[in-house]
Structure 1
């Protein structure tokens, strides 16, 4: 069953609350390229899922909330709040702008734009 790109990205974002990389896998193209500015680029679905396994192991809570989302064909731009909670601490509301490029019904490119200094300050 095919879903529109708006619905696909919203479902992908909601899957993060499960902290289960198996839930992320169907949304990602095998050749996905992830760029979280300030960090090294990650290429390939397996490498990206491994990175998220590490994030899920580090944070007790991980959730993404979409504030606004715009779709233009195979490009989705989403203003998000990433809720990242270290063990025993309240989640830090990290503001983020994500750009997703879809190919063959899956996310082939994903770029996150977050102020890393702001994120680090919230997580302290």
Structure 2
């Protein structure tokens, strides 16, 4: 196992345990993250804030790995993120949605490019429509 794989595994552990300090320690100060819901997030502090909103909205979430890869300085994970929405979900407008109490289980893929033991580039992909549908936030068809 190389450095990128080890760092990605520590990130997954930190996120599923809502350990914001550990998350901060894993990102470079000038890291860039790309997410489906927040778009491009620049800088360690902003990325930690992104993860805080995720862990606050689903504090007991789990990640079940389906596939793990490492290619050079990049680790790739495919898996299922599951949890119960017990905290508010922030919206891009600055408003928040109250907790729904609903369970979500969504397939996602993330990529972490690591240099000198820290993530410098992070990309997360998941189906936002599936997420919103499982939370009961989409209008009936």
Matched, 1:37 2:36: yes
Q: 1:55 to 1:37 in 2, by over 3 A?
A: closer
Structure 1, unmatched stretches of 5+, are none
Matched, 1:56 2:20: no
In the other structure, the counterpart of 1:110 is 122
C-alpha contact 2:3 2:73 (8 A) present in aligned 1:
no
RMSD in angstroms over aligned alpha carbons?
Answer: 1.9
Q: How far apart in 1 are the matches of 2:37 and 2:56?
A: 21
In the other structure, the counterpart of 1:70 is 69
Q: Secondary structure at the match of 1:61?
A: coil
2:107 to 67, 91, 95: 95
Q: Secondary structure at the match of 1:34?
A: strand
TM-score, L = length of structure 1: 0.86
1:6 to partner: Cα distance: 1.5
Q: How far apart in 2 are the matches of 1:90 and 1:22?
A: 28
Residue deviations 1:61-97 (CA, integer Å, cap 9, x gap): 2232322111111011110211232128464111101
Structure 2, unmatched stretches of 5+, are 87-99, 137-141
Q: How far apart in 2 are the matches of 1:98 and 1:59?
A: 18
Matched, 1:21 2:33: no
Q: Following superposition, which runs of at least 4 residues in structure 1 exceed 6 angstroms of deviation?
A: none
Higher helix proportion, which one? 1
Flag the structure with larger Rg.
2
Matched, 1:79 2:91: no
C-alpha contact 2:102 2:134 (8 A) present in aligned 1:
no
